[in-house]
Structure 1
């Protein structure tokens, strides 16, 4: 698809974020399976649910604009997923608290990618006068910020300290 105007870019980026979320959901399930701390495991499982809710919203918006949700493959998230697997899942980390700290690090990197994506989409929808889209995307952005805040609280609430020993 040629990107000739902001609407084209908007649809392209909706598709890109849909792909990013799809990849992030899969690796987040894997991260939850490796997590030691119960609150971290629970937060990651909630994260998967939140990512899937975001995907449902993105799919609805993409199809409402006559496009295919699977029209793009996000190479940026592909790299972040590879990093998450390499550093938090496959890496030999003998201390479970240290692994939990690494899991949070990798999850937050993916989350920040989502924050950037949703933030741009909110701005595009606003500029395009797509108020309903903007509201739905703002809800996704807010939820993504909440997930990031939860991970920060878990990390600073004890995991980082436990990982020091």
Structure 2
């Protein structure tokens, strides 16, 4: 599909974010089941709740701007999730797996931070102030999740691994 202007780019990027979040709603329960550390399990479960809210925000943005999301699959997210699944298969339950899961989850968070940062900047440029504010909430959640994962890795889990 040819993207001809900034508005079409915004719709494409928002559609990819929607696909990524939908994929995460399926992946996060698997990560929670695979983790051993109770704090990490709780983080994954909490982020699932946030992800469901993030999907609602994407729908809110689409509704506010009267746009239809494209039915596309975010292949990059699929690859990142697949990498996490490989860590689950390649390690036994315990601290080493937990450290690997944190690394995989942070790769996802960094990808999402880049995506939402781009969406916020583009929304601002297009004058989509309400959309930018809605998307900024999600960007802040993704950054917070990344920080929590870093703290868990640096203070406990990596040392145990």
How many residues align? The count is 161
Deviation at 1:30, TM superposition (A): 0.3
Contact 1:111 1:148 in 2 (8 A): yes
Unaligned runs of 5+ in 1: none
- Which segments of structure 1 move beyond 4 Å, counting only runs of 4 or more? none
C-alpha RMSD over aligned residues: 1.4
1:153 is matched with 151
1:104 equivalent among 97, 102, 114 = 102
CA distance in 2, matches of 1:135, 1:152: 26
Q: Give 3-state SS (helix, strand or coil) of 2:71's partner.
A: coil
Q: What residue is the counterpart of 1:8 in the other structure?
A: 8
Q: Distance in 2 between matches of 1:131 and 1:37?
A: 40
Task: State whether residues 23 and 78 of structure 1, in contact with CA within 8 Å, keep that contact through their aligned partners in structure 2.
Answer: yes
Q: CA deviation at 1:120?
A: 0.2
Write the mapping of 1:69-88 to structure 2, written as runs, cut at 5 A. 69-87=69-87
Task: Name stretches of at least 5 consecutive residues in structure 2 with no aligned partner.
Answer: none
Cα distance in 2, alignment partners of residues 124 and 140 from structure 1: 15
Structure 2 Cα separation of the partners of residues 26 and 68 of structure 1 = 23
Task: Report if the CA contact (8 A) 2:61-2:131 is conserved.
Answer: yes
Query: How much does 1:42 deviate?
Result: 0.3
- Taking the aligned partners of 1:95 and 1:147, their CA distance within structure 2 comes to 22
Aligned equivalent of 2:20: 20
Encode CA deviations 1:53-73: one digit per residue, 9 max, x unaligned.
111111221243343335221
Does the 8 Å CA contact 1:29/1:45 hold for their aligned counterparts? yes
In structure 2, the CA distance between the partners of 1:95 and 1:29, relative to structure 1 (3 Å rule), is closer
Tell me the TM-score normalised to structure 1 length: 0.92
State the partner residue of 2:124. 126
The whole-number CA distance in structure 2 between the counterparts of 1:6 and 1:138 is: 19
Query: Which TM-score applies when normalising by structure 2?
Result: 0.94
- The 1:70–1:45 alpha-carbon spacing in structure 2 relative to 1, beyond 3 Å, is farther
